[in-house]
């Protein structure tokens, strides 16, 4: 389980780095994208470690 979490974090980090360096976007859009990705990863990590119940969108 821990190895899967580490692999996912590495993949997400590399993808975010690639987007930030190689896709031309306005700085404001990049900041919003970075914030959304970081928030999503934090929520996913909290769920993975059982600190947050499942989040359901109805």
Distance CA 54, CA 27 (A): 33
Look up the pTM and report it: 0.81
| Per-residue pLDDT, 21 | 95
| Per-residue pLDDT, 52 | 77
Mean pLDDT by 10 residues, the chain (58 residues): 93 96 94 96 90 71
| Per-residue pLDDT, 35 | 97
Relative orientation angle of helices 27-48 and 2-22, to the nearest 10 degrees: 180
Whether the Cβ atoms of residue 32 and residue 40 lie closer than 8 Å to each other: no
| Per-residue pLDDT, 49 | 87
| Per-residue pLDDT, 55 | 67
Distance CA 42, CA 35 (A): 11
Its sign, for the CA torsion 56, 53, 51, 47, is negative
């Amino acid at each position: 389980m821990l190895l899967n979490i580490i692999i996912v974090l590495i993949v997400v980090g590399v993808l975010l780095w690639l987007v930030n360096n190689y896709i031309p976007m306005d700085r404001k859009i990049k900041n919003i994208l970075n914030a959304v990705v970081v928030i999503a990863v934090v929520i996913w990590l909290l769920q993975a470690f059982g600190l947050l119940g499942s989040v359901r969108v109805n």
